Every structure is written in C-alpha cells, then in structure tokens.
Amino acid sequence: MIRILFLILVLYSCSKEKQAYNKLNGIWEVTQARIVDGQGFTFYDDSPTGTIEFQSKTKVCSATFAFSYENLAEVPLMIYDTLDYNSATFALNNKGEQLEIIQGGFGSLSDKFRIIVLTKDALVIEYYDYLNYKLKRFTLRKK
C-alpha cells in the first residue's frame, strides 16, 4: 500500500513538473519590474523592455531585460539595470516552484528564481541579487 502511494506521488510530481515545463515553453515579454533594495525601499518600472525565451525540450533559455527606476532615498538618481542570459541552461524543481538558470559551464553560478505565478499566458518570477542587495521581481506575459 505504501509503495502504491509513493508511486502515485512520484507520477503526480513528474506530471506537475512536465506541465510547468510546457507552460514555460515559448517567448515571454517583461511588462513590469519591481525592485526592493536592501533598505526596504520598493521601486517599480512599468515600462521595462525585453524578453526571455524558454526552449523546454533542450532546457535552454536566453533573456535580455532592461529596466530603470529612480532612487529617491538620498540624492535623486536614475538607476539602469539589465538581466542577460545567452543560451543558458535552466531547470525546474520537482514542484515547479523554483526556476534555476545557469549561465556558463560546469562550476558556474546560477540564479534561482521563485515562481510566483505560472499560467499559460502569465509568469511572475523573483530572485535575490546578492551582488546588489536587491530583490527583483518580473511580471511577464506570453507573446
């Protein structure tokens, strides 16, 4: 009985992971960027540019996002930022709740995105940028 339940759970999570890969496949256009800095200030860019393309069969993705926001904390300052991946590999965890993108070969660093929303036409992902002490969230729609 326990083996049957375990098998059902394994099949269900494999099926759920496959569904997530299928939903992710294609070209997504970024529609909003939200940045929370290390001091807790939140900034939005409602007109970012760029796309990310996922090829689920080969587990390869490429992305170029450009976004900007004005930091009013001390001295007004426009901050320009980008997110770039060129033929990076990606993987989803078993539950489809985390997206890991690895740029480069063996031993490369990876970015781990939390998947907040994933439907056939909407995607919301976020990750913590450790180098800049910022939590970055992107809202995307399928092209």
- pLDDT at position 5, please? 43
The closest alpha carbon to 79, from 33, 31, 114, 110, belongs to 33
First to last CA, the chain: 46
- pLDDT at position 71, please? 72
- pLDDT at position 99, please? 94
pLDDT along the chain (143 residues), means of 10: 47 68 95 92 92 95 92 74 93 86 77 95 96 94 95
**CATH value of 2-142 in 1.20.1070, 1.10.3470, 2.60.40, 2.40.128:** 2.40.128
- pLDDT at position 94, please? 61
Which helix (H) or strand (E) segment is 62 a member of?
strand 60-71
pTM of the model: 0.83
- pLDDT at position 78, please? 85
- pLDDT at position 9, please? 42
